[in-house]
Structure 1
């Protein structure tokens, strides 16, 4: 049951009345074409008939601009009515006109319509290739409308292919060009704005999409653009559907359907029917959904929109399965899946497989559900690895670019300094050989040399500043990327925890375990990126203190014992009989040890991993030994470098990203600890850290294992009330699923006003969680303080993907708890156990630091 992404290239290519005519084009021809094209916004079917009847007048006109305008208007109106043969013939005529008259504008128009044809047939990549062939010509044509059309069409296809950054650039360019058109600029601006709101929706920003729709609707009504109004109402229904207001979505879809039927808009009619049926499927009204989906399928096929037909066919199959007609339903769904697979739309195929698995489970066919789920997981893993490799390649490219620029600047500065030194020596020799009569000249030369040297020093300082700026920018990029990626990972981790708590099917437990392991791997990658950027920028991560090395190692081994067991490995820990206490920063030391153990498990396909600590030379030597693939001698000197992977890493299924050991090296340097590796290829490796010892004082205390504490409290029942403030709908869904699974009653809000509204409705929360970064521009910390001022008996915490924001430092300085994304469900459970238990007994004033 998938909400169809509506194909709105109709709104991109519509109203060709803005085509500029040259001085030779008769004004009466253009005036009549303008009238017919304006009619197409109210009734496209009537427009096609009128244009075909006027063919003797316009198709045989002497002027190229008149014929080009005619064929473009005919193709646009025929697209909306689903008359594919008329569109194909118009494209052929435009190509012939471009060839016989050497008219680049006709060639660009033909390519745009052809790209649109390919896209509705599910061949978006081929459409982008067709547009690329005329890219140079599109920028050289004198008609600004043709350039506007080219950028708008290109942006629409990029959006449909999931390339949102490129799509946004092209659509903004089209919006800029629309304001320069000599005629019908308002209509062109309406089309650009319509595509922008659809892009906002695709980019998971429904609030911004809804705002853009509200801005575009008055303009569409003023122009009486019925076609644009229909698409805008349909888009509004999509936004309301995503936000959970199904009644409002149904009303919007019906408005769009009414406009489509009145104007003969086949594509809009098919899309509205499909989306209306999708809402019925969400409500499990399968019998009502079946005839709607059959009508949508027929409408798509009549309009020759094969991509939409495949999705409608899959939705029809879900409606049949929901009524118990399993065989017939599966046949329809698999036909739709085959089409999107052949079209190369892997994300869409993955979503359809997920829906099919849920329908199998609903029907009690667990074996089929398991098989379909495994296909979905394999495809999701393929998509994840592809996106991960692309992200790492982008990071590596930017990092290498900054490094190359820094080396070039350093080399240039060294050359400038050497030139200055040579000039100094030359002037000194001249000064020694000169007579007293040349004293004034020598003095002048010395002054010039001083100025030259000072300039060289200033250039050296500027080069050093540029190098430091490049390093800072790289660190800022890593930190920002980590923050942006933490948001979906945060939501996914909470959802996985909720799924694990609710699952009672023993067949699904291995799948849930695999999903949790994948989430842990993603979190470790993001944490490694952020830790590396913070360490390289010199930011301290904490303060040194006495650390119980044995307790810390036991905690780390406990963390990875299950992962090692699943991989068929033996993970052992060997500690000295007497206690071992070192002087270190706990966070850095834990990170370094965790990365070493994870690295050993990753590169050991079979055998064992041994973690040990022993006294050596007044300190403690920590070793992690494995029986894995080992490291070649040529690679051992570079294993601690960022993004470096050994020559044998490709042999492993999960060889990491080359960041784990780089973080170990940076941690060890800040701890003041020695580190190294000894390895034999094919026989295993030994990584080691040498840490300074600490003589225990009366205040010394062993380190408490956080993981053990969380494991102990995770089984306690929860009962109480929470208020959660976050502007991301997916994150709120994840909070809801997890808190309900724990038995916590919660209310949710996306803005400060909504949160205060929950209190006005009578909510008395025991705990309040506020996200720091809100799209409304409000400060999450300021909102938290105002909420706690109204609820003095509650406790509150900030939730953020950032680590060093001023607002977070202020919160921690004032004693508030700050949770970093992705939030560990066990840690969150421990917090709620303490806070909700406290809320039952007594209320304390705020702020209350978490202990």
Structure 2
């Protein structure tokens, strides 16, 4: 179980220092060292009357950045400072967070059961907590469940975390990527690499290495592991190498250690034992520098296996056995099962079949130990009862050996008793096995149910029920084949259309009425949009307060009419919260695909959507409650596209493109 760095707490956005810390934290996702430098500079200039929130946030963010940079001692010192400051300032959110992470200390002292009991005792406080703290609480519970192999419970926590992400005040992308990375890792533990790969695809679809390199690297590593389980070893190797390069460029030592660890593992699979040894030694060196005992031991397993396969069996097996003893103390059965299997394979390759057999038996025992122990316990009780009865009968027969006839009768009865008791043993053992089967089946059904929920999350937005970004990306992945086929058939007369829209002043709605009302507005917008679009149109919640309408094979002349209906449907009638009326309008940008007969290898759907986003922004700068759409190019696309895809306002100013403006319904000033 790894230590948990202190998170930033998000408080009032009207605090300029808090806003500055937020900006630096976003920068640190791309440049960790620059983030540390700017935070230290801000710390020096921190005014004496700085808010409680600003003082806590600065220490929290800086602590996390130190850990990411491998500066563990400085990070730990700031964790202690955060604890001291939280108690001194009596900040309830920070104090509750400290109570949550106390679970790690409870686990270290008393084990998993004590940690679960402790976390359960915090439930009343968590129910009233902020979404950020609820997310952190669920994250820690999921870590414990996953580490102990209780995947069905872990998955429920992940589903809850996905629901909470929409309520987080900021850094939703990072939270989403962390959650999907955890889900991917869990599926790897369940030996379901296909689902693990799907989960990484979900995360990578909404991120980039330049935007969030740390989370991106973690996703690449899990993706590599999934590909490895699917025997796609060359692809796995490339993912790990890409992850290592990004981790080095961005100065992320923990990520470097993880990438090197998995490279060593992959080279073992590819039987390149020299490179496996090199990567294992490098990963051990990284983790030793970070004082990360758990991962040092894990890397030591790979080093031992690499040495063993090169003929240094004694040296290698000693290293692996040392690791096995460590994981036994940690009671990490899933790790032990895997390591026993790997060491057994190494022994087998060295011709040490007896040792290999012993380890394989231990591996089998680990996976079945609970079941076998319970069955053995019940069976032993029955057999003990049977043996006692049998001895009593034998004594009785010996005492009356002169009564041959009666002895024969009693002997016959004894045989019947033996047969009956043996049958009882078999029946009861069978019943017990059946009960265990029923229990296993019930857990599997629970897991299937939660998997169904996860699959819903993978393609649907949980709040509105609309399609999500991943659904659209999956649809677009087949676009090239479909468009080319339609063109060859001469059936592609009308282009597709994309309308990207954003709720105006949505932050003000949340700040004024609360996030619960904000959620009601989002659901009502989704409901109204459903009544506007065609059955064949695809309606998505694109993220936050953004929605996307994809209208395939649409008549260009009718798109303006559709946009007018969208603006009118949302903005004409207020949204009701009880007796209170809330004015809601949207701003939109729209474009056809292909656009103005430009080949899609020049302006594909992603580039077109980028232009629609700039058109939406243009609408916001001109007063909101309106839409801007691109009708056609007025110059050759070779001249227009470079400018159009980076600066729509400049393209309009240079008369490169014809733009349509659609106004929303007039609004009465509040």
Q: What is the TM-score with the length of structure 2 in the denominator?
A: 0.54
How much has 1:81 moved relative to structure 2?
2.5
Query: What is the rounded CA distance, in whole Å, between the counterparts of 1:362 and 1:318 in structure 2?
Result: 11
1:20 aligned onto 2:5 = no
Kindly provide the CA deviation profile for residues 581-627 of structure 1, in whole angstroms up to 9, marking residues without a partner as x.
xxxxxxxxxxxxxxxxxx999967999xxxxxxxxxxxxxxx99567
8 Å Cα contact 1:277-1:289 kept in structure 2: yes
How much has 1:83 moved relative to structure 2?
2.7
Structure 1 partner of 2:18: 30
Structure 2 partner of 1:197: 184
In our comparison, the structure showing a higher alpha carbon Rg is: 1
8 Å Cα contact 1:121-1:305 kept in structure 2: no
Identify which of 229, 242, 257 aligns with 1:255: 242
The secondary structure found in structure 1 opposite 2:206 is: helix
8 Å Cα contact 2:29-2:213 kept in structure 1: yes
Query: What are the ranges of 5 or more consecutive residues in structure 1 without an aligned counterpart?
Result: 1-6, 393-520, 522-566, 568-598, 608-622, 646-654, 662-851
Distance 1:114 1:144, change over 3 A: same
Identify which of 269, 289, 298 aligns with 2:256: 269
Structure 1 partner of 2:355: 368
How much has 1:99 moved relative to structure 2?
2.4
1:722-733 to 2 correspondences below 5 Å: none
8 Å Cα contact 2:6-2:60 kept in structure 1: no
Query: What is the rounded CA distance, in whole Å, between the counterparts of 2:269 and 2:389 in structure 1?
Result: 47
Query: What is the rounded CA distance, in whole Å, between the counterparts of 1:62 and 1:73 in structure 2?
Result: 16
Structure 2 partner of 1:344: 331
Structure 2 partner of 1:161: 148
How much has 1:290 moved relative to structure 2?
0.7
Structure 2 partner of 1:313: 300
How much has 1:284 moved relative to structure 2?
1.9
Kindly provide the CA deviation profile for residues 260-293 of structure 1, in whole angstroms up to 9, marking residues without a partner as x.
1122222211111111111111122212211110
Query: What is the rounded CA distance, in whole Å, between the counterparts of 1:61 and 1:127 in structure 2?
Result: 39
1:48 aligned onto 2:36 = yes
How much has 1:61 moved relative to structure 2?
5.7
The secondary structure found in structure 2 opposite 1:54 is: helix
8 Å Cα contact 2:18-2:53 kept in structure 1: no
Structure 2 partner of 1:328: 315
Distance 1:153 1:44, change over 3 A: farther
Structure 1 partner of 2:493: none
Structure 2 partner of 1:299: 286
8 Å Cα contact 1:58-1:70 kept in structure 2: no
Most deviating of 332-341 and 198-207: 198-207
8 Å Cα contact 1:94-1:110 kept in structure 2: no
8 Å Cα contact 1:124-1:160 kept in structure 2: no
Query: What is the rounded CA distance, in whole Å, between the counterparts of 1:146 and 1:171 in structure 2?
Result: 15
The number of equivalent residue pairs is 415
Structure 2 partner of 1:76: 64
Identify which of 75, 98, 112 aligns with 2:86: 98
Kindly provide the CA deviation profile for residues 8-33 of structure 1, in whole angstroms up to 9, marking residues without a partner as x.
998xx7973xx3314xx862211211
8 Å Cα contact 1:81-1:303 kept in structure 2: no
Structure 1 partner of 2:599: none
Distance 1:289 1:156, change over 3 A: same
1:522-671 to 2 correspondences below 5 Å: 625=415, 628=418, 657-658=431-432
Distance 1:364 1:222, change over 3 A: closer
Distance 1:272 1:117, change over 3 A: farther
8 Å Cα contact 1:42-1:263 kept in structure 2: yes
Q: What is the TM-score with the length of structure 1 in the denominator?
A: 0.43
Distance 1:326 1:126, change over 3 A: farther
Identify which of 237, 254, 267 aligns with 2:224: 237
Query: What is the rounded CA distance, in whole Å, between the counterparts of 2:47 and 2:328 in structure 1?
Result: 41
Distance 1:343 1:244, change over 3 A: same
Distance 1:386 1:34, change over 3 A: farther
How much has 1:308 moved relative to structure 2?
1.8
Kindly provide the CA deviation profile for residues 538-569 of structure 1, in whole angstroms up to 9, marking residues without a partner as x.
xxxxxxxxxxxxxxxxxxxxxxxxxxxxx9xx
1:146 aligned onto 2:146 = no
Distance 1:116 1:269, change over 3 A: farther
Query: What is the rounded CA distance, in whole Å, between the counterparts of 1:200 and 1:367 in structure 2?
Result: 33
Distance 1:125 1:604, change over 3 A: closer
